[in-house]
Amino acid sequence: MREGWDRLQFHDVVTLDVRKTSVLDGKEYPIVGVLAYGRGLLYRDPVSRASTSYRELNSIRPNQLIFSKLKAFEGAITVAPGDLAESYASSEFPTFTATARVLPAFLRLMTQRSELWKAMAANSRGLGGRRERLNPIDFLAMSASFPPLPEQQRIVDLMGTLDDTIAAAELRLQAAVDQLRSLRALTFAAGKFTTGRDAFDILIGVQRNPTRAGGARQIRYLRSANVTFGRLNLSDVYEMSFSPQEQAKYSLIPGDVLVSEGSASEAAVGAPCRWIGELEGPVCFQNTLLRYRARPHVSSPSFVDHWCAWAYESGHFREVAGGSNIKHIGARRAEQMQVRLLPFDDQETAMAPLDAAGDIVRMAQDHVATLAQVRSAILAALLTGEHEIPESYDELMGVAS
């Protein structure tokens, strides 16, 4: 540990400071929760005495540290913003006020470290899983390393500058996304009506079962958990048995578009992503996904890609999905959907500006992701004391301001 740093228990830097508020008739109480993994507050709809069984709520004040007893194992901890408006939470959310030994803004950065989340999970007590809770007394007994206040301020200032850079990059990304969505909406407002069956080759995947799980010819396959809008998550790809005939039928080829067939979350229904051959060898897909493929001389891969994205963005997929708790599109509904199909010979020209706008979005996404990785690495290095910000940084910040 570097000179000037101290290993302190949390009761040295924060005090348990819970202010109870009675729930009165005729008043609404803005409610907050805490997002997992140090991502800040979750702002919920207000409650009243008529809409909640709680007769007391915890008042959440600016710059207070707050965590969820129940979700502590998921790193549900943060420090409330300094400009937080009137807010409340249930008794499951204890609050703490910083002492003179720590800056609230520095404490907020500490809540974003995985080491703290792991310690919170290890100190949670209960019957296991989601019944475990972190007692405030156990939290206060946990320890971490704290630098002197001047160095805390340097770390806060440096990370704030980086966060401003990330926020600006996110604004540029959102502008690129909005432009692409507008182009898609204009493009798919034209064309002759046909059906999904006639415009695309649509196929639903194979159902996983115990026989396939242990059978021969284990082949990798994708499922809905691997597909988000415009992005594939290939960090956890499963395998199951596919016969040679099934491999020929269900193997993906570059240009195919995978669409999430159903979900309990309406926002996930119809989420599409284009397959470009990211994994070598045959890769198939489960029945939680629909595969859209271009029909020769009818639809181009680019047309399929952008149409599926438009159908998701516009809510067209969600509109046709059936079911109450879990919404499903299904192969039959997918084939019956109306499609405004441009003449095949016109598709390349029509899709060119969409492809270009899509490239801009992907570059902006990659830029934001890179900045987030850089931020994580810098924060880890600073909070462990691995790197020191020189005192000359104070003069630099003074000139900049």
Residue with token string 């998921």: 74
Q: Are 169 and 364 within 8 A, CB to CB?
A: yes
pLDDT tens-place string over residues 295-353? 999 999 999 999 999 999 999 999 999 887 889 999 999 999 999 999 999 999 999 99
- Tell me the pLDDT tens digit for each residue of 147-170: 999 999 999 999 999 999 999 999
Work out the angle at residue 24's Cα, subtended by the Cα atoms of residues 22 and 26, and round it to the nearest 5 degrees. Answer: 155
State both tokens at 377: 């690495």
Amino acid at 360: I
Mean pLDDT of the 60-75 span: 97
Paired sense of beta strands 95-98 and 14-16, if any: antiparallel
List, in order of start, the domains of the chain with CATH numbers.
Answer: 6-145 (3.90.220.20), 147-190+342-400 (1.10.287), 201-341 (3.90.220.20)
Mean of pLDDT over the chain = 94
- The model's confidence at residue 35, banded by pLDDT at 50, 70 and 90, is very high
Per-residue pLDDT at 116 = 97
Between 98-107, 112-121, 263-272, 275-284, the lowest mean confidence (pLDDT) is in: 263-272
Label residue 95 by pLDDT band (50, 70, 90). Answer: very high
Indicate the length of the chain as a whole number: 401
Distance CA 397, CA 154 (A): 9
pLDDT in tens, 232-268: 999 999 999 999 999 999 999 999 999 999 988 888 9
To which residue do tokens 């994708």 refer? Answer: 222
Lowest mean pLDDT among 96-110, 193-207, 383-397: 383-397
| Cα diameter, the chain | 73
**Cβ atoms of 278 and 234 closer than 8 Å:** yes
Q: Please count the other Cβ atoms lying within 10 Å of the Cβ belonging to residue 56.
A: 12
Decide: 354 and 287 in contact? Cβ < 8 Å: no
Residue type, 67: F
Which positions ≥6 away from 301 have C-beta within 8 Å?
254, 255, 274, 294
Query: In the structure encoding, which two tokens stand for residue 165, read together?
Result: 């850079």
Q: Which residues contact 366 (CB under 8 A, 6 or more apart)?
A: none
Q: Dihedral of CA 42/48/54/55: which sign?
A: positive
Please state the rounded mean pLDDT for residues 119-129.
Answer: 84
| Spatial distance between the Cα atoms of 202 and 275, rounded to a whole number of angstroms | 15
User: Which pTM was predicted?
Assistant: 0.83
Q: Are 42 and 35 a contacting pair, CB within 8 Å?
A: yes
Question: With 60 as the cut, is the pLDDT of residue 49 above it?
Answer: yes
3-state secondary structure of 131: helix
Percent of the chain predicted with pLDDT > 90: 87
* In contact, 317 and 329? CB cutoff 8 Å: yes
**Residue 230's pLDDT band (cuts 50, 70, 90):** very high
- Indicate the range of 61-70, 74-83, 121-130 predicted with least confidence: 121-130
8 Å CB contact between 306 and 354:
yes
pLDDT of residue 8: 96
pLDDT at 395 exceeding the cut of 70: no
- Reported as type and span, the H/E element at residue 167 is helix 149-187
Give dist(CA 300, CA 350) in Å, integer.
11
Residue 215 has a CB neighbour count (10 Å cut-off) of 13
Residue 377 has pLDDT above 60, yes or no: yes
> In 3-state terms, what secondary structure has residue 79?
strand
Average pLDDT for 171-190: 97
Q: How far is CA 372 from CA 49, 162, 196, in A?
A: 42, 9, 39
